[in-house]
Amino acid sequence: MRLIRLRHSLLPGRHTVARPSDRVQAAVLLVVVLASLLAGVGAVLLGIGIHAAETAEFRDQIASRYEATAVLLADGPAPGTVGRSGTPGESGPAKAFWLARDGQRHTGEVDAPAGTVAGNEIPIWLDVTGTPVDRPLTPISAAVDAVVVAIGLWVGVVFVLALGYRGVVFALDRFRLARWQREWFARQRGRTRRDDQSPAGS
């Protein structure tokens, strides 16, 4: 029954009691449904593109980065302190040394977890020059990013379309109500005139 009502809402047909405003509303609803479907296809294609791009970036990063171990020369952030982004207990910079793949010793700052002290070992990632870099992407993060962006885009488009459709329905309802009121007042005036023309005493 719901599918039948939806079909009649989208396609009222010629031989129905549908008003012109109902046909306009049906046309707008049909456009919204088709646009939502197209947005879904576009979101899927965008998600596939993002996944492919991040997967390629992951391969490049894995090929040019490797994991090593750094030894802290100074304490990391104290537990409960606020990090650079304002998050309590976040990792922060601390002086450390590490050995590159070629055996050369490097000294500098690395991101140390809150509560670590001098002498602790922490895992880090290095590039070909032995400089600390961010952890490379993972296939899971690439898939999650693609899904989140695709769903977020589709939901955003559907929300805008639904909002626009509700605005059109609201305007059409106001138009139909105003027209109904004009017709009702016209009929009331017609009845009053007929009552005035009735024979006296009848």
Residue 24 confidence class, pLDDT cut points 50, 70, 90: confident
Is pLDDT of 200 > 80?
no
pLDDT of res. 198: 52
pLDDT of res. 177: 82
Residue 107 confidence class, pLDDT cut points 50, 70, 90: very high
Residue 174 confidence class, pLDDT cut points 50, 70, 90: confident
pTM over the 0.75 mark: no
SS (H, E, C) the chain: CHHHHHHHHHCCCCCCCCCHHHHHHHHHHHHHHHHHHHHHHHHHHHHHHHHHHHHHHHHHHHHHCEEEEEEECCCCCCCCCECCCCCECCCEEEEEEEECCCCCEEEEEEEECCCCCCCCEEEEEECCCCCEECCCCCHHHHHHHHHHHHHHHHHHHHHHHHHHHHHHHHHHHHHHHHHHHHHHHHHHHHHHHHHHCCCCCC
Separation between Cα atoms, residue 95 and residue 117, nearest integer Å: 11
**Residue 4 in tokens:** 């039948």
Residue 115 confidence class, pLDDT cut points 50, 70, 90: confident
User: pLDDT for 30-58, tens place per residue?
Assistant: 899 999 999 999 999 999 999 999 999 99
| Mean pLDDT to the nearest integer, 23-32 | 86
Separation between Cα atoms, residue 40 and residue 56, nearest integer Å: 24
| Mean pLDDT to the nearest integer, 103-108 | 93
Q: Within its chain, how far is the Cα of 116 from the centroid?
A: 37
pLDDT of res. 9: 55
Separation between Cα atoms, residue 54 and residue 136, nearest integer Å: 10
Taking every pair of C-alpha atoms in the chain, what is the biggest distance, in angstroms? 120
